[in-house]
Structure 1
C-alpha cells in the first residue's frame, strides 16, 4: 500500500517552503505569547493577542471553528492539570501556575502547529523540571528522525528520554500527527513505543511531534466543555510541540524561529533547513 493510499500527504520542496511561512508565524506568535504571560492576565486576553498577531500577518487561526463542537478560540490555553485543548476565557493566571499554549495558523492554505509550556512567575521545582523534561523529550524525538527510518523511532526516543528522567506519565491517547493542507493528517505520531515501526520517514512528509507529560498518571478525563483534557489524578502537565520535516541534509523544524538549528546541532544532528 502506498503513502497516498494511506492518506499520507507528501509535499514538494516548494510546498514545504510554504509550510515554513506558516510555521514561522506560529513560532513568532508563541514567542509573543510567552513574553506576554504574567499573573493577572486572563487566558482570553492571551487568545486575543494571538488572533490579532496571526490575522495581522495575513494568516488564519487553524483552531478557531475546528471540529465539533467547533473550537471557539485561536489558541488552546491549558492551566496546571489541564493537559491540552483548554478553552481560553475569563480564567486569570496566578503566580505559580503553569500554562500550556497550543497554536496553529494557516497561510496560503498550509498549516503550522506548535506548543509551549510557560511558567507564570515562580513555579515549584518539580514543575520546572517537568517542563524541562517534556521540552527536551520533544527535541530527542526530532533528533531521532532520519530519512528511511520509521515514525515510531520518534516516539521511542521521546519515551526513552522521559523514562530516564523519572516516574512521569506520558499520554498515549493523544498523539502527534501529519500536517500540511490540513492540520491533522495521517500518520499518528505516538510518544511511546518500539522503534522501527509505522510509516517510513521520507522526504516531503511533515509531522507535528507533541509530547504531553504529567507529574502523575497518564490517565485523563474530558471536561464538560467537550474539549479540555485534564489529568484524572489532578497532577500537573506540560506540553511542547513542533512541526518538522526531513530534507536530504537533515531535519528542519518549521515552527522554530531558527529552524531548530541550534538544538539539533547540540544533539549532534545535521540541520536540514535554510537560515531565514
Structure 2
C-alpha cells in the first residue's frame, strides 16, 4: 500500500516511461514538420481531440472508480480479518474452561488455536499473492500440523479445518458448552467468508477487452492531439501534449494496479503488515511481552 508521503516521482513516472517517450517523439516530429519544414495541411480542428478527450475522461473516471472499489473491498475484508482474529482469541480465553484435571490440556488448546490463527493470517496473504503459503508457519505450528496442512492445495482452508477439529475436542471434553461452541463456530465462519471473498477478488479477472479498448482509445487521442494544437501553438504544443499524455497514462496505470490488490506490488492491500499487526495483538492478548516490531515501510514509501 502506498503511503501518503515520501512517494518518489520516479516511481510514478517509471510506469509510463515507454508511453511518454512515444508521445515525445510524435509531438516533436509534428512540431518540426509544421514549424521548420512548413508541411501544410497537417492541422485538424481542435474540436475533434476535445470531444474524444472528454469521452476518454469519463471512461477513465468509471474505470478508476471500479478499480478503487475492488481495492477498498479487499481492505475492508482484511479489516474484518483483524477484528475476527481478535474476537476468536478473546472468545477462546473467555469460553474455554481451564480448571480441573485437564486444565493444562485446555490451556494448550487455547494457545495452539491462537498461534494457528496467527499462521492463518500470514498463510492467506502469501496464498493470495501466489507465494509459498507455508513460509511463516514454522513460527506458529508444530511439525505435525505443518505436515498435515502441507498436503492441501489450499493451506489457509486446511488451517481452519484444524481449528474445527480443536473446537470439536473442546466441546467433547466439556471445556465449552453448546452456546459457546456456536459463538466460536460463527467466528470461524466469518473468517472462512473473508477468505472466500479475498479469493474471489484475486481470481476474478478484470475484462481484458475493456482494458485494451481504453488503452487504444487513449493512444488514438494522444496521436491526434498534436495535430489539433500545432496550428495555433507551434512548438509549444510539445510540452503540452506530453503533460496531457502523462496525466492520462498515469490515471490508466493507477486503475490497472488498483484493480488487483493481491499482486505483490506497492499498490497492494498490505496483507503482510496487517498479519504482523494481528500477531502483535494476539501475542499481547496471551500475555506475552516479547513481540515482534511492526512492519517497516519498504523503500520508505509503501507497506506490503
TM-score normalised to the size of structure 1? 0.27
The structure with the largest helix share of the pair is: 2
In terms of Rg, which structure is larger?
2
Higher relative CO (CA 8 A, sep ≥ 6), structure 1 or 2?
2
